[in-house]
Structure 1
């Protein structure tokens, strides 16, 4: 069993000259929890990871691992495992030697080291690849070896910096599931950095959506997707329709969207408002929002219909593909309905 610990980041900040890249970042991670830092390039997520690892010194704030303040501690003393995007394997060492490198540096005896390396290679499903050099392994296999190397010394926390971005799509999907399975089996506290929202939503206990150095929202994947806390989170995570609406009854949240009336059952400000809606929230009906179809995309299990409302607003609607159901065509007029609970109030 890997030694796992809690992780607390309090008031973390980082500036490079006049550029403040991380601002008042706070996060409490429970032992064994899998947290993803999600956001666009330049939002500060990798800088947060590097501060946890000890590669960057915070301009302000505190980092505590397992109750121990490590803010000013060297990386080597923090007992953290790190997996990088570019594998960073030693090309002149075999897979087994790469996995055992940290153990050798730590002075672990040869027999114990060999046993741990064998255990790690079995854990990542490559027991027969120990004698192979990195150039003899596929990208996915190299990243598995990098993961085993990070886990071999039994770190308190595992950090993964976009570890799948260099792999092709099918390998990414398979390997992310394997990483999550290994993480659950070991129960190790893990921070995973990614700009891929599907990746973050599919494997995380909680997701931290970062924007301009700030944690815009921290929540479970369903909370992040279904109840975004800010306009940025709503727009960044998933596909979102932005629908101009007029509030008819503020207390009940009774609104009109291009003449279609719906009740949100929550208080809203009077006057014009912008509402968000996921493409899958709409359903075809005999009456409702009048949509003129501009095009249809076949996406396998899903058909994506693009169209516009009578007021000119663009709308995207997803429906399950069915051989028994005739797809709409460009120029068709269809009616869509939506439950008020699926409408999101957006900040402009």
Structure 2
């Protein structure tokens, strides 16, 4: 049986339903990310798991125990908030040990656990400082240690990195993942940042308008999106309007170019889509005109227009390689397996 089960959760605020029939089973030690735009319901689901919101319908089970109606302090859950929420009048050690003190853990055992947690987050010598004496990244690590100190069954992280600059976010997200794997704790991570979700998750739940549009591994979500929303929200996507010429053989026509996909297609018109790294300039393919070339270090990004479609092509940086120039007329193609076929 799965360690954490969210069973047909629904949540309404007055007449507005913000979460609709949400179900998810999470294995022990799994790292799950909820990914989606603002207002999609991901934080509301997290708050229901934590006990801060009561579901309008459905159940929440942790290790076989129905916790749907239990108070937050009865669920053995650790939570890290976006705004750190550290107590300004307590030292770092006091913050980390707060939950242990409330639980009645003896002073000596509490001190040992605090020292263990501070070593875990890489701040062993800062126990005597106050939150205002720490950087933003250090404060968030202290918040993580405070959540982990009571040995929770589930760890919840609500956009914990959104207030940090890019370099610190990268370092801290890797540290969160390392700690999570070291402890083997079941974790749900809420974010609207695609790169964060793709880089550290075992599975991703892409949410849209209160439902789970798709649940899968990062590779599945990126390479095999199940809906048009997932395809457009996760990563950059180039889209073409295509006419299906032969549904059985899988032939389509785009801007006068015939493309063989080798798969069964619906009749009529479809949207043909491909990631920037899948498209390439080739002798045959869709006619396009280069509108710009950007150097991004590891890649050159080509911008082009094909009919009414604005395109982005990424090519690995190969010093000395000749690149198309703005204004050049080229043809663009991709391997048959790289094309996504979406409803028109």
Q: Report if the CA contact (8 A) 1:38-1:45 is conserved.
A: yes
In structure 2, how many angstroms separate the alpha carbons of the residues matched to 1:225 and 1:18? 34
Q: Root-mean-square deviation (CA), in Å?
A: 1.0
Q: 1:75 aligns to what?
A: 72
Q: 1:330 aligns to what?
A: 326
Q: Secondary structure at the match of 1:41?
A: coil
How far does residue 300 in structure 1 lie from its aligned partner after superposition?
Answer: 1.4
Where do residues 103-252 of structure 1 align in structure 2 (5 Å cutoff)? 103-252=100-249
Unaligned runs of 5+ in 1: none
In the superposition, the TM-score normalised over structure 2's length comes to 0.98
Q: Secondary structure at the match of 1:192?
A: strand
Q: 2:84 aligns to what?
A: 87
Q: Report if the CA contact (8 A) 1:262-1:339 is conserved.
A: no
CA-to-partner distance for each residue in 1:192-224, whole Å, 9 max, x for gaps? 000001100000000000000000000000000
How far does residue 295 in structure 1 lie from its aligned partner after superposition?
Answer: 1.1
In structure 2, how many angstroms separate the alpha carbons of the residues matched to 1:261 and 1:6? 50
How far does residue 163 in structure 1 lie from its aligned partner after superposition?
Answer: 0.1
| 2:98 is equivalent to residue 101 of structure 1 | yes
In structure 1, how many angstroms separate the alpha carbons of the residues matched to 2:214 and 2:126? 42
Unaligned runs of 5+ in 2: none
How far does residue 227 in structure 1 lie from its aligned partner after superposition?
Answer: 0.4
How far does residue 173 in structure 1 lie from its aligned partner after superposition?
Answer: 0.5
How far does residue 291 in structure 1 lie from its aligned partner after superposition?
Answer: 1.6
In structure 1, how many angstroms separate the alpha carbons of the residues matched to 2:343 and 2:106? 59
Q: 1:13 aligns to what?
A: 10
In structure 1, how many angstroms separate the alpha carbons of the residues matched to 2:95 and 2:260? 60
In structure 2, how many angstroms separate the alpha carbons of the residues matched to 1:297 and 1:145? 40
Q: Report if the CA contact (8 A) 2:288-2:331 is conserved.
A: yes
Equivalent in 273, 280, 288 of residue 276 of structure 1: 273
How far does residue 65 in structure 1 lie from its aligned partner after superposition?
Answer: 0.4
In structure 2, how many angstroms separate the alpha carbons of the residues matched to 1:97 and 1:252? 68
How far does residue 314 in structure 1 lie from its aligned partner after superposition?
Answer: 2.0
| 2:30 is equivalent to residue 30 of structure 1 | no
Equivalent in 299, 312, 318 of residue 314 of structure 2: 318
Number of residue pairs the alignment of both structures matches: 343
Q: Secondary structure at the match of 2:284?
A: coil
Q: Which runs of 4+ in 1 moved over 3 A?
A: none
In the superposition, the TM-score normalised over structure 1's length comes to 0.97
